[in-house]
Structure 1
């Protein structure tokens, strides 16, 4: 269904009872279960959300060449692997024991290491901090941003992303039904939070591109009403969702009210 793309996977599982695990992991690496708290690679049903996160990691990696980078709340660890393609060193920080162990065993590129710790307590200085799709989970986001600022070397930057509640929540709702989110942000609210701590704030948005943009246009023309009548729903989305790539998203400055996710560069 269209919900296979639009809505958080935790909502689908809550109604279907189906469980999803990573496929085809390297020998000795335990697969993680998709819980809705974090996205994962190697789960075909999750591919839309994984690629939506991945495009931001790739964008940030291009700005971290030769730097010492910390990926806070790194989860499964795939982002550290992406950042390490350009960075001098990458430290992935996560407090979850299963995610930490999985990441430590799976991503062994030289210059990458993982630390099991709360992001509020990790204290090694660095040139850049990456904190993607997590600030909506923390009870005191301003304190977290102040902590990150204290870790930056001169000239460093913090990259923070979060869902845009204007496009994540159902029309007319104040927030989505994701049970893991403590606070969801409009663009102006997110910018105001960042400016309480950082003097320089650049705000970008993540948008659909290529085939996802065509899918958006098809929805406006009535695709949601057509595919169930033709009996195409399952067959179409079983092929469409796994075929989505990071190139089916783009990062741009405006219009932020229409962005899927918001991305701040803080200095």
Structure 2
């Protein structure tokens, strides 16, 4: 199975919005991205690596164009958001898009899956109109940059990662460096999802060990149980206002972000 076939298969089998975006970290991510999108200027938004279109659905300042390598994901996105335009394409080969053809770009949870991240950010600069905004989010890391972040979720849905599959992470400083090198003006960079640091990963590992070597259907059931457990635990943290303390005192969160602007 090559990478294109993998992403098509994953899009068919893995309803990300029904699982990841129902976890505490997923809900925090969606809310964060939607808040950031409200800061964008009016104009066309290009959602690169759009999947089923959920994240960019929070954009209300203009038309949405989504690009993704997986055709099944685009078909679902079009059925859900028929007013948007969706194009099958590789984010490392965006030559089919003209210079200064969109006002803003969202690239969420995608740049960690490509080999030439710097080249992609340069292509973003070419495509964005002067004054337009760029928002990138991706996994963050601590001391050692991972070459591959393990992820049992696709396998739980019967999709094994192929050879050559990339899943790495970037610090905010690395995202900022790529953007400035490409010509962007840095507006903001940092981390988020601090409220879920440590405990969500620990609980997820426990559930992953419980579903290890079980059938695909049992693994899905365990995954649903994990989502319920994570949300109950987060509700308790929120009730006790521990999440506020984590946001205030933790230096970094598990997700990095960059907000940049193309100079006029």
Q: Using structure 2 for the length normalisation, give the TM-score.
A: 0.64
Q: Does structure 1 conserve the Cα–Cα contact (< 8 Å) formed by 2:21 and 2:30?
A: no
Corresponding residue number in structure 2 for 1:185: 170
Corresponding residue number in structure 2 for 1:93: 67
Q: Does structure 2 conserve the Cα–Cα contact (< 8 Å) formed by 1:67 and 1:88?
A: yes
Q: Identify which of 117, 134, 138 aligns with 2:89.
A: 117
Q: Does structure 2 conserve the Cα–Cα contact (< 8 Å) formed by 1:198 and 1:266?
A: no
Q: Does structure 2 conserve the Cα–Cα contact (< 8 Å) formed by 1:74 and 1:80?
A: yes
CA distance in 1, matches of 2:39, 2:138: 19
Corresponding residue number in structure 2 for 1:24: none
Q: Which runs of 5+ in 1 are unaligned?
A: 1-30, 167-171
Corresponding residue number in structure 2 for 1:150: 126
Q: Identify which of 116, 121, 124 aligns with 1:140.
A: 116
Kindly tell me: are residues 173 and 154 of structure 1, through their superposed partners in 2, closer, same or farther at Cα, counting changes over 3 Å?
closer
CA distance in 2, matches of 1:90, 1:234: 32
Aligned length: 208
Residue 42 (structure 1) shift: 1.9
CA distance in 1, matches of 2:85, 2:103: 16
CA distance in 1, matches of 2:114, 2:224: 38
Corresponding residue number in structure 2 for 1:40: 16
Corresponding residue number in structure 2 for 1:261: 255
What secondary structure does 1:205 align onto?
strand
Q: Using structure 1 for the length normalisation, give the TM-score.
A: 0.63
Please state which structure has a larger fraction of its residues in helix: 2
Corresponding residue number in structure 2 for 1:73: 49
Please state which structure has a larger fraction of its residues in strand: 1
Corresponding residue number in structure 2 for 1:7: none
CA distance in 1, matches of 2:224, 2:117: 42
CA distance in 1, matches of 2:230, 2:78: 28
TM-superposition CA deviations, 1:165-192 (whole Å, max 9, x none)? 12xxxxx754233464354223333332
TM-superposition CA deviations, 1:36-63 (whole Å, max 9, x none)? xxx7112379634532431233123212
Q: Identify which of 104, 120, 124 aligns with 1:128.
A: 104
CA distance in 1, matches of 2:79, 2:224: 35
CA distance in 1, matches of 2:194, 2:45: 28
Q: Does structure 2 conserve the Cα–Cα contact (< 8 Å) formed by 1:163 and 1:184?
A: yes
Q: Identify which of 180, 203, 206 aligns with 2:192.
A: 206
